[in-house]
Amino acid sequence: MIPRLSQASAPLTERVRVIDEHGQAREASIPAERALTIYVDKHELVTLMTLGAQPEWLVLGYLRNQRLVAALSEVESVTVDWEVGAASVRTRRGIERIAERTAQRVVTTGCGQGSVFGGLMEDLDRIRLGEAVVTQAQLYGLVNAIRLQESTYKSAGSVHGCALFAGERMLIFIEDVGRHNAIDTIAGWMWLQDAALQRGDDKIFYTTGRLTSEMVIKSAQMGVPIVVSRSGITQMGLQVAERLGLCAIGRAVNKRFLCYSAPERVRWEPGLAD
């Protein structure tokens, strides 16, 4: 059962006047960051800082990755109103113990004021990831696809990008002021797709940001067993990846990369690196 969704996409950039290195005035693009407060059944949940490209997907993915909603069918509607900066979520039967479950908040290392609710590690041992592998050729193809992707970052900077791949094929690319927002938006998009795209066990997740514990956990909750970043990984991110058997690949630029965990998920082709 698909919830009713508003279509409240907002402009991603705005033009401002700047002074360049020659002392000359000109116009430049900057990301259009805005606040979006999520209300669930009139209960104020959290305020996210976002570009607002796909706010309804972001809200759905946030509820999913915070483990507040277990299935898309539990949500009746998501209505975003940028005039008041609010997203109103109506559920079909309410969320049990929502005040208790959202009382403890952990501020994360993500830019854009990331936060997760308490019990971050509680459900890790329940996660079972598939047996997916990635070839070195697919990894290089994936990195090249990101390089060629038109993006807000190229025109305005100051944002993170995340993408979901099936092999070398990019399924969706999302940018936001925080990488946690971008992955939540992808999680929301996945929920709205057909059964094949809802599955994460044969997918690869890519982020321009570092692989923190939050990013690794959210990828695993989406069922995605392989994550790739052009940045590195934190100690806690690595500990979680090893515990889950998730393949974390970082510093992936051109033909260079580092595999931090689960190297058995990589079909190695060292000759391609030359």
Domain end call among 122, 147, 166: 122
- Could you tell me how far CA 158 lies from the centroid of its own chain? 16
Are 38 and 50 a contacting pair, CB within 8 Å?
Answer: no
Domain assignment present for 260: yes
- Amino acid 81: pLDDT: 97
What is the domain range of residue 239?
134-273
Domain assignment present for 263: yes
CA torsion 63→52→143→115, rounded to 10°?
-40
Domain assignment present for 169: yes
Q: How far apart are CA 227 and CA 244, in angstroms?
A: 12
**Number of folded domains that form the chain:** 2
Domain assignment present for 128: no
- Amino acid 162: pLDDT: 94
Q: Is the pLDDT of residue 45 over 80?
A: yes
Are 179 and 162 a contacting pair, CB within 8 Å?
Answer: yes
248 and 139 fall within a common domain:
yes
183 and 115 fall within a common domain:
no
Domain assignment present for 127: no
The one-letter amino acid at 212: T
113 and 153 fall within a common domain:
no
Q: How far apart are CA 258 and CA 274, in angstroms?
A: 15
Q: How far apart are CA 76 and CA 91, in angstroms?
A: 5
241 and 155 fall within a common domain:
yes
Instruction: Centre a 10 Å sphere on the Cβ of residue 84 and count the other Cβ atoms it contains.
Output: 9
Tokens of 85: 């900066």
Domain assignment present for 183: yes
* 89 φ/ψ sector (left φ>0, alpha ψ -120 to 50, else beta): beta
142 and 96 fall within a common domain:
no
| pLDDT per position as a tens digit, 114-136 | 455 445 566 788 899 988 999 99
Task: Work out whether strand 134-135 and strand 266-267 pair parallel, antiparallel, or are unpaired.
Answer: parallel
Name residue 43's beta-bridge partners.
Answer: 40
- Which candidate, 225, 257, 266, 230, places its Cα nearest to that of 242? 225
| pLDDT per position as a tens digit, 181-193 | 999 999 999 999 9
Q: How far apart are CA 65 and CA 218, in angstroms?
A: 6
Domain end call among 122, 152, 179: 122
111 and 236 fall within a common domain:
no
- Amino acid 122: pLDDT: 66
> Which residue in this structure is represented by tokens 């000759």?
271
179 and 50 fall within a common domain:
no
> Which residue in this structure is represented by tokens 């500990």?
239
| pLDDT per position as a tens digit, 251-274 | 999 999 999 999 999 999 999 998
Q: Is the pLDDT of residue 109 over 50?
A: no
Domain end call among 99, 122, 145: 122
